[in-house]
Amino acid sequence: MSMKEWIMGVTFFGMILLWALSPVLNINLAIVAFLGLSVLILANVYTLEDIRQGGGDALETFIWFAILYMMSTALDDMGFMKTLGAQLADYISGYSWVTVYILLTVLYIAIHYLFVSQTAHLLALYAVFLQVAVSAGVPAALMAFMLSFATNLFAAITPQASSSNILFVGSGFLPSKDIYKQGAVITVLNTIIFLLATPWIMWASELLGVMNN
pLDDT in tens, 133-151: 888 888 888 889 899 999 9
Q: What is the mean pLDDT of residues 94-99?
A: 84
SS3 call for 2: coil
> Using alpha carbons only, how large is the chain's radius of gyration in Å?
23
d(CA 82, CA 97): 21
* Structure-model confidence comparison of residues 56 and 117, the more confident one: 117
Supply the pLDDT for residue 37. 83
Q: What is the mean pLDDT of residues 84-99?
A: 78
Question: Could you tell me the pLDDT band of residue 62, with boundaries at 50, 70 and 90?
Answer: low
Please list, in sequence order, all residues whose beta carbon lies within 8 angstroms of the beta carbon of residue 178, skipping any fewer than 6 positions away: none
CA angle 58, 154, 112 (to 5 degrees): 80
Supply the pLDDT for residue 55. 53
Q: Residue 207: pLDDT above 60?
A: no
H-type alpha helices, 78-175: 80-91, 97-110, 118-135, 140-153, 165-171
Supply the pLDDT for residue 208. 57
Supply the pLDDT for residue 74. 76
d(CA 185, CA 156): 9
The number of C-alpha atoms within 13 Å of 39 and in the hemisphere containing its C-beta is 17
DSSP for 79-106, written as a single string: THHHHHHHHHHHHTTTS-HHHHHHHHHH
Model confidence pLDDT, tens digit, residues 19-39: 888 888 888 888 888 888 888
d(CA 12, CA 56): 24
Whats the size of the chain, residue-wise?
Answer: 213
Other CB atoms closer than 10 Å to residue 72's CB: what's the count? 21
Model confidence pLDDT, tens digit, residues 159-206: 878 877 777 776 667 777 888 888 899 999 999 999 888 777 767 666
Q: What percent of the chain has pLDDT over 70?
A: 81
Q: Residue 213: pLDDT above 60?
A: no
* Structure-model confidence comparison of residues 195 and 78, the more confident one: 195
d(CA 110, CA 153): 12
Measured in whole angstroms, the distance separating CA 4 from the mean position of its chain's CA atoms is 39
Mean pLDDT of the chain: 80
